[in-house]
Amino acid sequence: MGEIVFTEKQEALVKESWEILKQDIPRYSLHFFSQILEIAPAAKDMFSFLRDTDEVPHNNPKLKAHAVKVFKMTCETAIQLREKGKVAVPDTTLQYLGSVHLKSGVLDPHFEVVKEALVRTLKEGLGEKYNEEVEGAWSQAYDHLALAIKAEMKQENSQKP
Cα distance between residue 46 and residue 109, in whole Å: 13
* Distance of alpha carbon 114 from the chain centroid: 6
In-domain check, residue 75: yes
Q: For the chain, how many structural domains are there in total?
A: 1
**CA–CA distances in Å: residue 127 to residues 36, 39, 53, 67, 160:** 20, 21, 30, 19, 46
* Distance of alpha carbon 19 from the chain centroid: 16
In-domain check, residue 2: no
Cα distance between residue 23 and residue 60, in whole Å: 17
pLDDT tens digits along 60-93:
899 999 999 999 999 999 999 999 999 998 889 9
In-domain check, residue 62: yes
In-domain check, residue 48: yes
What pLDDT was estimated at residue 26? 93
pLDDT tens digits along 89-132:
888 999 999 999 999 999 999 999 999 999 999 999 999 999 99
In-domain check, residue 1: no
Cα distance between residue 147 and residue 132, in whole Å: 22
- CATH number, domain at 125? 1.10.490.10
In-domain check, residue 32: yes
- Which residue range forms the structural domain that includes residue 102? 8-159
In-domain check, residue 3: no
Q: Give me the mean pLDDT over the 128-143 stretch.
A: 97
User: Which helix (H) or strand (E) segment is 26 a member of?
Assistant: helix 25-39
In-domain check, residue 29: yes
Residue 31 CB partners (closer than 8 Å, separation 6+)? 120, 121, 124, 125
Work out the widest C-alpha separation in the chain, in whole angstroms. Answer: 52
The more confident residue out of 160 and 38 is: 38
